[in-house]
A and B are shown apart, each in its own frame.
Chain A
């Protein structure tokens, strides 16, 4: 029994960390520009396909493809931001939602064109397969890897935001865009860089997600709901908030499906509605 609880917590945490990497970029960009980017999950999908392509066609090792997934998603996102998204900052939230969901549809069609509708499995290196046994409980190696990678990313993010000059600029711009601009910060450029970093992280998350949830053209749409839940529950612009939200969602999702499978995701959605009604700005959101 104890073993089961530990396993559910462990798997849930691993899934939650994956969700955190996928959605943390959206949290920051939403907090910065109030731009509702539903295409965030599509950048994750892009990262996933980059990894699949590099491993299959060019025989790259898995670990080396991860930075490439990050770079590809970051580059594409910056182009899209410059060409399209910046025109929509002042448009209503409905227009932002529709434009970016249109982008998700186009991305899904593109993925279908190049890769077909099937799942894209990858072969992990041997040291990531199998499991490690501690005190009679077997932990999946890949999930341990996932948690370690996510914790490193989280630590890097916190360090960047709290200890560097650029992090201070981001925090200032999230707190109050107008005052930050008045103090001479180039908010638009800060936003573009943050947007690229966030989308890159989504791409990395997409690459990491292949082994856990698979990869097919519906990835962007399917994970959209999860990403939005993390962001809105955690609170716009709050990184600790989305860390908490992602961990809660991951553990809740795994526990719910393990303990009461007949209810499916019912409990998760119930939790989402309840949290938003009590705290419309999210758990740790300020606005």
Chain B
């Protein structure tokens, strides 16, 4: 990515950023392909909706991990906060309007993200991983302790989501759920795309590549990290809220370490720092789990473990990174 900038020194920065924002034919085809489940796999629309939600979650992790280089093992805390915000709002206060729920979830998760970002920027390397892990586990234990609010291990019951815009009802087959999740995913993707292709996105990559040099060129890296962490937390909250709204259940599982770890695994499978990697990773991971767990749920771990080891050894840039390298070699 950065080489192209170096090789054309004559190009103005604004023109460079504008060129990066142009859509390619592959991207258009990719998004058209997301409509395929409606025609060809109507029986799997509920799975497709889960995939869209997980992809959105992975997208939020890509912002901090792929672009800003913050390795996080506790991002499920924001996902869970969003999920519980909507769940509690509906089951305790009887407010099930979906769109306002999404915004509230984003607000709550974003505030939590902003607060924790002050801790995140203080540490690096192993300590950073451990702090994100610790915060994630802390939130899980908190959710467990506040069982009067979160329903404890049983989860919340009696959640009902109103029709979208008072018109589109959530149906049993998942037509509405998938359309809704897909539209929210697309809108958040557009937001992320604008962010990473802006000068702010470039500053983030600078931080990822060398955090010590950024202050030397006058860039306040701590502030940048805080902003991106907050945005990422808000998007993760939206993903969590979508899960609650489309399934009408929420349990403590949304806060679990497993969820934090799974999402990082998907992201690595797909490829970090390219947005589409998050979506491709989520698609492959969830479809594989759906199929393999159907055969024998116990050995799902074997396959995902082998896949992880293979990807790290032979495709360190993920599936999309590996494909991109193949394509370049052909040219």
Interface of A with B (CB < 8 Å)?
30, 36, 84, 87-88, 91, 93-95, 97-99, 101-110, 112-113, 117, 225, 228-229, 231-232, 236, 262-266, 269-270, 272-273, 276-277, 280-282
Instruction: Determine whether the beta carbon of B119 is less than 8 Å from that of A236.
Output: no
Q: With both chains docked as a complex, state the minimum distance between the C-beta of A243 and any C-beta of chain B, in angstroms.
A: 19
Q: With both chains docked as a complex, state the minimum distance between the C-beta of A232 and any C-beta of chain B, in angstroms.
A: 4
Q: With both chains docked as a complex, state the minimum distance between the C-beta of A214 and any C-beta of chain B, in angstroms.
A: 18
Query: How far is B309's CA from A210's CA once the two chains are assembled, in angstroms?
Result: 29
Q: With both chains docked as a complex, state the minimum distance between the C-beta of A115 and any C-beta of chain B, in angstroms.
A: 12
Instruction: Determine whether the beta carbon of B305 is less than 8 Å from that of A109.
Output: yes
**Minimal Cβ-Cβ distance residue in A for B304:** A105
21 A-B pairs, CB-CB below 8 angstroms?
A36-B126, A91-B312, A98-B265, A98-B312, A99-B312, A102-B306, A102-B309, A102-B312, A104-B305, A107-B305, A108-B301, A112-B298, A232-B127, A266-B145, A269-B138, A270-B138, A273-B134, A276-B131, A276-B134, A280-B127, A282-B127
Which chain B residues lie closer than 8 Å to A232 at the CB level?
Answer: 126-127, 130
If the complex has contacts A101-B261, A264-B144, A269-B141, are A276 and B130 also in contact, measured as CB distance less than 8 A? yes
Task: Report if B112 contacts A (CB, 8 A).
Answer: no
The residue from A105, A266, A277 contacting B119, defined by CB atoms under 8 A apart: A277
Q: With both chains docked as a complex, state the minimum distance between the C-beta of B316 and any C-beta of chain A, in angstroms.
A: 6
Secondary structure type dominating chain B contacts = helix
Q: With both chains docked as a complex, state the minimum distance between the C-beta of B225 and any C-beta of chain A, in angstroms.
A: 15
Which chain B residues lie closer than 8 Å to A229 at the CB level?
Answer: 130, 134
Query: How far is B100's CA from A112's CA once the two chains are assembled, in angstroms?
Result: 46
Instruction: Determine whether the beta carbon of B135 is less than 8 Å from that of A273.
Output: yes
If the complex has contacts A95-B316, A277-B131, are A109 and B301 also in contact, measured as CB distance less than 8 A? yes
**Minimal Cβ-Cβ distance residue in A for B71:** A94
Q: How many residues on B have C-beta within 8 angstroms of the other chain's C-beta atoms?
A: 41
What sequence of 0s and 1s flags, for each residue 125-155 of chain B, a beta carbon within 8 Å of any chain A beta carbon? 1110111011101100110110000000000
Interface of B with A (CB < 8 Å)?
65, 71, 119, 122-127, 129-131, 133-135, 137-138, 141-142, 144-145, 257, 261, 264-265, 268, 272, 298-299, 301-302, 304-309, 311-313, 316
Query: How far is B137's CA from A209's CA once the two chains are assembled, in angstroms?
Result: 23
A-B pairs, 10 with minimum CB distance: A105-B305, A102-B308, A109-B302, A106-B305, A266-B141, A99-B312, A102-B309, A280-B127, A273-B134, A105-B301
Query: How far is B136's CA from A225's CA once the two chains are assembled, in angstroms?
Result: 12
Query: How far is B130's CA from A97's CA once the two chains are assembled, in angstroms?
Result: 12
